[in-house]
Structure 1
Amino acid sequence: MKRTFLHSLVLLLVITAGYAQTLPSPKEHFGFNIGDDYHLTTYTQTEAYFKKLAASDRTKLVDIGMTEEGRHQYMLIVSSPENLKKLDRYQEISRTMARAEDLTDEQARALANEGKAVVWIDGGLHSTETVGTMQLIETAWQLVSRKDPETMRILDNVVILLTHANPDGHELVANWYMREPKPEKRSQDNLPRLYQKYIGHDNNRDFFMMNMKETQNMGRQLFVEWIPQIMYNHHQRGPAGSVLAGPPYRDPFNYVFDPLMITGIDALGAAMYNRLNAENKPGFTRLNGASFSTWYNGGLRTTTHFHNMIGLLTEIIGNPTPEEVPLVPNRLIPNGATPNPVTPQKWHFKQSIDYSLSLNYAVLDYAARHRDELLFNIYRMGKNSIERGSRDYWTLSPKKVEVITQAYQADQRKATSPGSNTAATASNDPFGWSNRGGIPAKYYDSVFKAPALRDPRGFIIPADQADFPTAVKFINALIRTGILVHKATADFTVAGKSYPAGSYIVKTNQAFRPHLLDMFEPQDHPNDFQYPGGPPIRPYDAAGWTLAYQMGVQFDRVQDDFTGPFQRIPYGELQAPKGRVETAGAGYVLSARANNSFAAVNDLLKAGVDVYRVPEGIPGNPAAGTGAFFVPASAKAKTLLEKSANELGLTVTGIAKRPAGATVKVAPLRIALWDTYGGSMPSGWVRWLMEQYHFPMQVIYSNDVDAGDLRKKYDVIVFVTRAIPAVGATGQSNEYGYASREPKAEELPAEYRPWLGKISADKSIPQLKKFMEAGGSVVTIGSSTNLAYHLGLPVRNALMEMTNSGQERPLPAEKYYIPGSILRVSLDSTQQAAWGMPAEGDVYFEASPVFRLAPEAVARGVVKPLAWFPTNKPLRSGWAWGQSYLQDGVAAFVAPVGTGKLYAFGPEITFRAQAHNTFKLLFNQLYANAAVK
């Protein structure tokens, strides 16, 4: 019996040893080491490798969803075999701690002691940043194969989520790079299209909206399924003269954050650069050594900050083709931002992989040593949020602090006015910064704690608003990011206002309160300048983005606690608005205020059903505002509308009599959308948007424009921002705002050569003018409104000033600067171009064009304003320095050109498919509207 047992044990060990040997190294699988110069893996090869690593008892391979191009997106979970057996329990603990619901500190500490730290490490989001993709493969291999004490400690104490962020882009970039048989000639330059099907680099700007499939896949793991305590987002490119930029990051940070999140970043940052220094790996820069801050929401890393996760970003140099670390003299001297500078040298891909592996191990080692602290701290942050949302609370922001300062200064002016008994004393301290350098505490108590400045206890989204399906899309964006939402099961009243059943309620006493506030409340970006009176410091991305404003969602901000017949929606459960089709006598009415109506109309037109617009609406029918759609009754129309109502959540009103105003018949147009070689992100967003709303369209390139005969092929052409160059410009900027070299045709495969070319003043503009003169329409957005100047229309740049020498110049940034922010405009919704829009609305404005119209042009009806700035304070969310210059400026207009039209929209009306509030300003121009009797 004993011999049999020993024989079985030996046999088991032999089998196990053989099993372990079946796991191939990267060299054995790919034929080269990760980090070898001039070599990249494809995603197809990587997917096969991950499936082989899934045979290890340290791994679990999870398919988290399909990509936009139809590939499987994987997350490889790595931990000890013992932990993987209890993976569901550790996942439950991670979620429970992050949501912090109904837990005492004692219970939380017990769970922290039981649980394992959960760490997310991704790679490949920006696919040309190949270090991120390759380090993910090497990290997986090291964690699966190594048996050293540090690795074993990590596996025992950490659950690691290794996530591939962009399979489609990986395949494109690797194949493009490796297509050249001679290694020294390999290059990533001149990719023909975006490395995410629609949005390329903007795939790192989609994480509070979650439009793309890859974003949704990762968001569900981050915010619903796992909620890790640490997430590490790998990027490149490091600032010139350094190897990488990493945590901690420069100010400003968003005021809604829990301080534990910020100091958590500090702690992890210290672990990361300490390890590099101990391993003699110089070149780490942080703080003001790079441009990265923690203000912005919407990125893969930054959105986690609003969920109490320690979100880490590094931007490293490196390329499969060796490169040089350039000499940047001001980075050679050690300082607080760069304690250990790197010297100029030749840099190989393997060095970047080694750095990345060290950084990953630094993060994982910290997590292993501090697992209970990390778990408890994310609980504590969640609990703090719940407590802040359960009582009166005031979030600090510059505008609120300014209220204090202004109140104090007003009292000082009164005290120093003539006849005041305190004039002599107060005049010695006109600003009140005497003695201890502060002002009396009463100003904090009486001004800062004013009831009107309190944070809300919750928000109510009424179900009876004009575009409820879009409001539900907003709710789903919240749900995808792990926000707890309730739905009213019956009518209710709060603060004297009645709301219908089906309304949504979002209370702020929840763990992810920072994200919730960030989606409803305006961002108050500080005035951030290089020095007093100097130029502004550009934000990392947008300065303001309040999603409820961008989407035009109607909501009420409730400052006192409230209750009602509210049903809790399970985390992650998406909502679908219920539509209905009313009984019709003469026909059906679709509101132009609902974006989804346009999708329904497109389906009707495709099926050959007649559709009309009602310019002035229908008296007595509140659902039929200006530009409403009327569909004559028929069995076919009813069938299609019932399908649309079910799928799109539309309410289709039935009417007994055909409206007298239904005099404009709608017909589909032949739509062209400009794009360029390499891909335009704004164009990709619009392409995706047209697909969602069922607009048929064709992508065209500059060569198609230059070829002429446009009117024979198209009825309307859409030019997104950065398509039309400025008058007199010698080149065209790329997505990042600087000129780039266009490849030569002979450098490219033949299939991509027709995509080359740029819109030019000498060839393209005359063809566009002919197109409009022959009855075509051109829609321009953002900087492409430059077309108005090329055509000599009676408009000029409103943001100019006269110099002392009598020359006109653009306002300098010291006087006027508005990065991405949300502004308020007035709209003329009686005009066809703006049907369905409110009289006032929010627009996304990003250093956007603003116009002055020649008086005679308006008087003669040559140019018609569509949107304008009626006040000197249009800022709603973000940062607007010198916003008074905008007053009376025109934001959008329409002008006739021959028998056609030019539509000029200065604001980004389709911005990242977030700006639902202004989609109709594009959609209205995509129909032929012929008057009928």
Structure 2
Amino acid sequence: MKKLTSIWVFVVFLFTLTIKAQQIDQTYIQKIKDFTTDERFLPKSLLDVVDHPGIPNPLKHFGHIIGTEGIVHRSSEIYGYYKKLADSSPLVHMQEMGLTEEGRKFYLIVIGNQESMDRLDHYKDQLAKLADARKTNPEQAEDIILDSKPIYYISGGMHATEMGAPEMLMELAYRLVTSDASDIKAIRENVITVINPISEPDGWDKQVDWYFRYTKGREKFDDGFPRSAPYWGKYVFHDNNRDGLQVSQGITKSIFKGFFEFHPTVMLDLHESVPLLYISTGTGPYNDFVDPITQSEWQVMGNHDVAEVSAQGMPGAFTWAFYDGWWPGYGIWVANNHNSNGRFYETYGNAGADTYLRDYSTARFAGDLASSKEWYRPYPATPLVYWSFRNNINYTQVGVIASLYYAATNKELLLRNFYKKGFNSLEKGKKEGPKAFKIGKDQRDPAMVAYLANQLKAQGIEVHENEDYFIVLSEQPYRNLAVSLLTPQTYPKDAKFPPYDAIAWTLPYLYGVDVESKDSIDFDINSLKLLTDDAVYKGKVSGDGNTYILPYKAQNTVLPALYWVKNQNRNAEVSVLTKETLISGDTVPAGSIIFRRINANQAGQIASDFGLNLMATLANVPAENQKAVNLPRVAIYHTWYNTQDEGWSRYTFEERGIPYTSIDKDVLKAGGLRSKFDVIILPRVRGNAKNFVNGVDKKYGPLPYTTTAEFPSHGFPASTSDMTGGPGFVGVDNLKKFAEEGGLLISFDNSSFILAELGIAAELSPVNASSLFHPGSIVQAKVRKSGHPVLYGYPETFPLFRGNGPLLQTDKYNRDLMLVQYGHQSLKDEVPYEGPIMGMAENEKMEKAKKPDEKNPPYVIAGMVRNEQEIIGHGSVFNLPVGRGNVLAFTFDPLHRYLNHHDAPMVWNALINWDSLR
């Protein structure tokens, strides 16, 4: 052991000597100059890449510099370079963080001076102590701060077309390890840098293959050709940065794992979209539950970075005018939600390594031209720029180094702020309400109660339990996040700029779980046990008999249980109760499921594995009150021009254990749909009927998305010999025939609008509501057609999540097609006339409608809607007859981002009862 230690000390000694005798790699420097299009885009601080004798820079390793025209690297090549750095330098540590859905590895790269690397576990422990003010009082915190270093986490490549950061981070890592420049030395000695090289390796490799296969060398950037591969992750496209509340995807799990292991003081996510370098602060309104210290840090650090970039003579850096700072579900917001600091950059990217003349002369942010000189953009660039891959890398790297240097020179301030934010959250829990949240385990869907407890636990929120309740006590470091997730949001109606994303996320409403907010503790805290393992609700079977009844309350796990039963026991008989029925003295609601010809073990497994309570009975259920369940063959349709939301639908089905077939335009064109499927789901897709019918422009075809030896990442999760074109009118006609022949078409959100445009949902027409502004909020809905199978298990009024989707309506004589409406009041044309009626005798006049005695509840439960009178009374769910079949049209997305689980059972009801919706 002593011999190994001596060898390592000698290696460190040699490394130190080589640092002192640095040579600059002039070839590398010249190539940086060659690939930079303007000296104003060329910071002198980057013209000192070291030619280290023992550690290869990217030029030596790859044979070309980072930012070389026409060259990007696959994930295996990028990880290979970091492995070479780790093998060559004691200042680099590489660790695995998990796997993607396709089996690629996530890595983190840790860089610091020798002392930092030798004491890495110590520094992680120190930050963990600062993260919990219950364990560390202010006096102890001061001592810990003096023996701590900030950990600065940097990530790139979350969005696959944003290709600069994963390349730049390799050069940055080499620079942090080898450079003797004063700012780099300060960073190396005072900061521990953690690099997430590629946040989304699956999407990155698909995009690299796409670039080499299709977009490399195209003459113009804005030529209409698709710049992105159709898929990134297995399920999730751009929404991979909208998974911070669900924590459902591998990318998010990796980010969360890294946060709770390192407790980084700052997290910086590198993106590309706007010219030339945006450094986040946002316009506001800021999230109510982010500590004011963090909000102030955004301003200080943002302006510091803009100043540093401008000081190097680089135009186009700005802050403030892009994004808001409200929604907490971005990946990097794991920091802001947990008393750290989460920030992001946006640089100008070309979705590859080519150089283009880019015109942003008409682009505006916060009302101002993107090229205008403003207080937040002191040095704008020209409205047209000749923009290269290397320009992008220069900007990002200079900004990141500036931000790291700020952390190095303000380390005690940042660490003190980190502790203080957790301390503030704890003090609020002591002094302010609510004091606790009480979640009863016995609710209509106990499995969702357990799911809520687990989701809170995944966020680092402490959840306690006793036999009857889950309890969230407010006196804990992440109190602010707990209150944010469990209470309604109120977005200011007078906000000057539109929100960047959804504005409501109250989990109890989204999950359909009742949560009681307690302003005082009226229970025995000492009787509570901390929830450490995942909560699991195991249902029970009560009573005796060989018929089993599942009282239905729109539980999310019923449909998966039915598919499981049919798979396990082909002889099982399953029926649904079509009306409320008295069985063995119990009133059983409509929609309840009756199982016959299953054994006691299978009934017990349904209860245990799916969290469902069953009643065993010997009573006969009236045959006229039942209908046999004929489980459908389900298809989920995807286009090739927009796969975002069908991915969430596929994910939801797979998580729930519901079988389906993924289909595309070629399946629609082939026809014979009714012989293959009973239900076809059309998830939300952007665009209009023209986009849907025509798909990707055929002038770019043929455009294969297939797996080949040269492009091995393509062809997954779907494959086609030609992406171009859509189903055409032949495919649309086949879709209509499918419904006419008895099939069920289910459309979500904008897809319902498209079906209306195409004449398949012919009774629906767009509603002109130009003043309605309805960002993602949780609102009240009201049942219009009680007892309809789609609404089994739902009360007369219930919350649902709706964004800025289409607004559709039928003619007045067709209003019986509306199953659910937005809000409680009637449309104006449905308000009964109360005046005189010429030609009708007084005793013949219609009876006046009785006015309700109580006021209608508010439409908005969480979030904000402007001019809500434009939508109240209009339909949210329609059931339209088409031939022998139906179109079930949702004007919102009931499977939105795997978040609004309370809305999803309307879809499950439709599948259970697909052949009886008429």
Normalised to the residue count of structure 2, the TM-score between the two structures is: 0.83
Q: Distance in 1 between matches of 2:90 and 2:318?
A: 38
**8 A Cα contact 2:159 2:200, kept in partner:** yes
AA partner of residue 600 (structure 1): A
**8 A Cα contact 2:504 2:776, kept in partner:** yes
Alignment partner, residue 822 of structure 1: 778
Is 1:832 the equivalent of 2:792? no
Is 1:225 the equivalent of 2:261? yes
Q: Distance in 1 between matches of 2:500 and 2:404?
A: 27
Q: Distance in 1 between matches of 2:7 and 2:72?
A: 46
Alignment partner, residue 205 of structure 1: 242
Q: Deviations over 1:3-51 (max 9, x none)?
A: xx99999899669989985543222333321111111000111122222
* CA displacement at 1:562 relative to structure 2: 4.0
User: Quick one: structure 1 residues 754 and 835, their matched pair in 2 at CA, closer, same or farther if it must change by over 3 Å?
Assistant: farther
**8 A Cα contact 1:772 1:901, kept in partner:** yes
Alignment partner, residue 578 of structure 1: 538
Alignment partner, residue 252 of structure 2: 215
SS, match of residue 134 in structure 1: helix
Alignment partner, residue 555 of structure 2: 594
* CA displacement at 1:829 relative to structure 2: 5.5
Alignment partner, residue 28 of structure 2: none
Structure 2 gaps of 5+ residues are 20-51, 363-368, 707-718, 826-855
Within a 5 Å distance, the mapping from 1:529-678 to structure 2 comes to 537-565=497-525, 573-582=533-542, 584-592=544-552, 593-607=554-568, 608=570, 609-617=572-580, 619=582, 625-635=589-599, 638-660=600-622, 663-678=626-641
Within a 5 Å distance, the mapping from 1:132-143 to structure 2 comes to 132-143=165-176
User: Quick one: structure 1 residues 72 and 818, their matched pair in 2 at CA, closer, same or farther if it must change by over 3 Å?
Assistant: same
* CA displacement at 1:481 relative to structure 2: 1.5
User: Quick one: structure 1 residues 868 and 622, their matched pair in 2 at CA, closer, same or farther if it must change by over 3 Å?
Assistant: farther
Is 1:37 the equivalent of 2:69? yes
Q: Distance in 2 between matches of 1:176 and 1:124?
A: 15
- The range that moved more, 369-378 or 302-311, is 302-311
Within a 5 Å distance, the mapping from 1:83-102 to structure 2 comes to 83-102=116-135
Partner residue of 1:384 out of 415, 424, 443? 424
Partner residue of 1:482 out of 449, 453, 460? 460
**8 A Cα contact 2:177 2:188, kept in partner:** no
Is 1:857 the equivalent of 2:814? yes
**8 A Cα contact 2:702 2:723, kept in partner:** no
Alignment partner, residue 50 of structure 1: 82
User: Quick one: structure 1 residues 590 and 756, their matched pair in 2 at CA, closer, same or farther if it must change by over 3 Å?
Assistant: farther
Alignment partner, residue 829 of structure 2: none
Alignment partner, residue 420 of structure 1: none
* CA displacement at 1:328 relative to structure 2: 2.5
**8 A Cα contact 1:247 1:313, kept in partner:** yes
Is 1:68 the equivalent of 2:36? no
Alignment partner, residue 317 of structure 1: 348
Within a 5 Å distance, the mapping from 1:627-776 to structure 2 comes to 627-635=591-599, 638-660=600-622, 663-722=626-685, 725=688, 730-731=690-691, 744-748=700-704, 752-758=720-726, 762-776=729-743
- The range that moved more, 18-27 or 577-586, is 18-27
Q: Distance in 1 between matches of 2:12 and 2:241?
A: 48
Structure 1 gaps of 5+ residues are 393-454, 491-499, 531-536, 800-809
User: Quick one: structure 1 residues 724 and 658, their matched pair in 2 at CA, closer, same or farther if it must change by over 3 Å?
Assistant: farther
Within a 5 Å distance, the mapping from 1:127-276 to structure 2 comes to 127-163=160-196, 164-179=198-213, 189-222=226-259, 224-238=260-274, 242-276=275-309
AA partner of residue 632 (structure 2): L
User: Quick one: structure 1 residues 73 and 583, their matched pair in 2 at CA, closer, same or farther if it must change by over 3 Å?
Assistant: farther
**8 A Cα contact 2:765 2:810, kept in partner:** no
* CA displacement at 1:105 relative to structure 2: 1.4
* CA displacement at 1:870 relative to structure 2: 1.1
Alignment partner, residue 402 of structure 2: 362
* CA displacement at 1:253 relative to structure 2: 0.8
AA partner of residue 547 (structure 1): L
* CA displacement at 1:306 relative to structure 2: 2.5
- The range that moved more, 618-627 or 292-301, is 618-627
- The range that moved more, 186-195 or 320-329, is 186-195
User: Quick one: structure 1 residues 12 and 857, their matched pair in 2 at CA, closer, same or farther if it must change by over 3 Å?
Assistant: closer
**8 A Cα contact 2:155 2:269, kept in partner:** yes
* CA displacement at 1:754 relative to structure 2: 4.7
Q: Deviations over 1:777-815 (max 9, x none)?
A: 10011122222454376745574xxxxxxxxxx2223xx
User: Quick one: structure 1 residues 717 and 322, their matched pair in 2 at CA, closer, same or farther if it must change by over 3 Å?
Assistant: same
SS, match of residue 483 in structure 1: coil
Is 1:340 the equivalent of 2:379? yes
| Coordinate RMSD, CA, aligned | 3.1
SS, match of residue 232 in structure 2: coil
**8 A Cα contact 1:38 1:184, kept in partner:** no
Q: Deviations over 1:400-424 (max 9, x none)?
A: xxxxxxxxxxxxxxxxxxxxxxxxx
- The range that moved more, 824-833 or 21-30, is 21-30
* CA displacement at 1:821 relative to structure 2: 1.0
**8 A Cα contact 1:67 1:167, kept in partner:** yes
User: Quick one: structure 1 residues 900 and 52, their matched pair in 2 at CA, closer, same or farther if it must change by over 3 Å?
Assistant: same
- The total of aligned residue pairs comes to 816
User: Quick one: structure 1 residues 749 and 521, their matched pair in 2 at CA, closer, same or farther if it must change by over 3 Å?
Assistant: closer
Partner residue of 1:888 out of 856, 873, 879? 873
Alignment partner, residue 405 of structure 1: none
Counting aligned pairs with the same residue, the percent is 24
Q: Deviations over 1:47-97 (max 9, x none)?
A: 222222222311222211111111111111222222222222211221221
User: Quick one: structure 1 residues 141 and 837, their matched pair in 2 at CA, closer, same or farther if it must change by over 3 Å?
Assistant: farther
User: Quick one: structure 1 residues 557 and 162, their matched pair in 2 at CA, closer, same or farther if it must change by over 3 Å?
Assistant: same
Q: Deviations over 1:225-246 (max 9, x none)?
A: 22211110110111xxx30211
Normalised to the residue count of structure 1, the TM-score between the two structures is: 0.82
Partner residue of 2:476 out of 479, 504, 510? 510
* CA displacement at 1:682 relative to structure 2: 0.9
Q: Distance in 1 between matches of 2:311 and 2:868?
A: 50
Q: Distance in 2 between matches of 1:379 and 1:9?
A: 35
SS, match of residue 251 in structure 1: coil
User: Quick one: structure 1 residues 40 and 888, their matched pair in 2 at CA, closer, same or farther if it must change by over 3 Å?
Assistant: same
Alignment partner, residue 31 of structure 2: none
* CA displacement at 1:248 relative to structure 2: 2.4
Is 1:846 the equivalent of 2:830? no
User: Quick one: structure 1 residues 868 and 795, their matched pair in 2 at CA, closer, same or farther if it must change by over 3 Å?
Assistant: farther
User: Quick one: structure 1 residues 137 and 521, their matched pair in 2 at CA, closer, same or farther if it must change by over 3 Å?
Assistant: same
* CA displacement at 1:185 relative to structure 2: 7.2
* CA displacement at 1:855 relative to structure 2: 3.9
Is 1:918 the equivalent of 2:903? yes
AA partner of residue 639 (structure 2): T
AA partner of residue 95 (structure 2): V
SS, match of residue 263 in structure 1: helix
AA partner of residue 592 (structure 2): A
**8 A Cα contact 2:207 2:229, kept in partner:** no
* CA displacement at 1:743 relative to structure 2: 5.9
Q: Distance in 2 between matches of 1:510 and 1:13?
A: 46
AA partner of residue 812 (structure 1): S
Alignment partner, residue 419 of structure 1: none
Partner residue of 1:791 out of 754, 759, 783? 759
Partner residue of 2:886 out of 901, 910, 913? 901
**8 A Cα contact 1:865 1:894, kept in partner:** yes
Within a 5 Å distance, the mapping from 1:103-142 to structure 2 comes to 103-142=136-175
